[in-house]
Amino acid sequence: MNAQTVNRRAVLRTTGLLTAGLLLGAAPAAAVTRRPTPAGAWAELRRGNRRWASGKVVHPHQDRARRDEVAEKQEPYATVVSCIDSRVAPELVFDAGLGDLLTVRSAAQTIDPLVSGAIEYGPAQLDVPLIVVLGHQRCGAVSAAAHALNKGRELPGRLQDIVEALRPAYEHADGDVEKMTKLNTIGVVTELKADRLLVRRITRGRLEIVGAYYSLDTGLVTRLV
């Protein structure tokens, strides 16, 4: 048996194994992707944010190929809990794309049972390894709540619920709105770290919860906790 025959048989054997694997639903080795670690997910967000802040965005995963890729299945690598502020869109701030992030947005990134359930979904159902609670500079919701609490006024409708959620941060911020924002962000992180569904994943090293702060002036995200 000559070398050419041996090589041909090796190729046919490999091709047959790949075909069988595809028929059984297995992906070729080159197509297998691994879920990032919590540290790896945070590093990816930081890289994207540095691109955003420096004006060197690449707009990843924003084409038709990506749309087709995630049409049947999503594998986001992080959940970002941020404010509803129009200037703080997580996919832009972190230069991310379709299928990369789960975003949960509320006024001043406050949480209640429904918001908490939305946050739990990523780690519990999609094995998302990272949650980032993102406060930001000059938050209108925080400013409004601080003003209302300072004047002893009650805001109309459900806006007062936001005020009450921010009251603990207000009481420790000494009238400083930016400090209030950061204290509230850290408080939300603390609350999420005590969540019964999330704490099990944290203790196993499968989830990390980070508190961060976004500067409207510079575009940079800095870690608080």
Numbered residues of the known binding site? 83, 85, 136, 139
Q: Binding site for Zn(2+): which residues?
A: 83, 85, 136, 139
Q: Helix (H, G, I), strand (E, B), or coil: what is residue 121?
A: helix
Q: What string of DSSP letters covers 134-203?
A: EEETT-HHHHHHHHHHHHT---STTHHHHHHHHHHHHHTTTT-HHHHHHHHHHHHHHHHHT-HHHHHHHH
User: In angstroms, rounded to a whole number, what is the distance separating the alpha carbons of residues 70 and 50?
Assistant: 25
Instruction: Give, for 133, the enclosing helix (H) or strand (E).
Output: strand 130-136
Please give the Cα distance from 2 to 60 (Å, whole number): 49
Strands 78-82 and 130-136, by their bridges, are parallel
Tell me if residue 145 falls in helix, strand or coil: helix
Tokens of 182: 């950061």
DSSP 25: T
CA 209 to chain centre: 10
